[in-house]
Amino acid sequence: MATLAELTGQQVAATDGISFLPTLLGKKQPKHDYLYFEYPEKGGQLAIRMGEWKGVKTNLKKSPKKPWQLYNLKTDRNETTDVAAQNPGLLKKFDVIVKKEHQEPTVEAWQFLGPVIGN
């Protein structure tokens, strides 16, 4: 949305979107500090992408206290080696991000994070 708005000169409501027009024009691109995802598939899952790191939790409806899986995408793009045990500080940051970013959905099928974040 931010890219289309910039291309067409339109104003948009405040969002967390960042136009990728600079990349298309070969210029320096602003980046998000992280990307946050929640999905009801696989029994409720969430993911955070921060730089070279990707943290994942799946099957949260059944196991709300399930630990993070953590992958270094720079060295393991196929996500074959979970390095969560070696990076507890990063996992704590991910927990803070989840609490900050989660908004309780109105669709019942998407309501799986309450027990995970302590709501």
Q: What is the mean pLDDT of residues 65-90?
A: 96
pLDDT of residue 119: 52
pLDDT of residue 60: 84
CATH number of the domain to which 97 belongs: 3.30.1120.10
Give CA–CA dist 82/76, Å, rounded: 9
Q: Are residues 17 and 49 in the same domain?
A: no
Q: Are residues 1 and 41 in the same domain?
A: no
* Residue 58 belongs to domain spanning: 32-117
Q: Are residues 36 and 20 in the same domain?
A: no
Q: Are residues 37 and 26 in the same domain?
A: no
pLDDT digits (tens, 9 = 90+) for 15-71: 778 888 888 888 998 888 899 998 888 788 899 999 999 999 998 888 888 899 999
The number of beta carbons lying within 10 Å of the beta carbon of residue 116 is 20
Higher pLDDT, 101 or 15: 101
Its pTM stands at: 0.75
Look at the chain and report how many structural domains it folds into: 2
If DSSP codes are grouped into helix, strand and coil, which group holds residue 82? coil
Q: Are residues 84 and 50 in the same domain?
A: yes
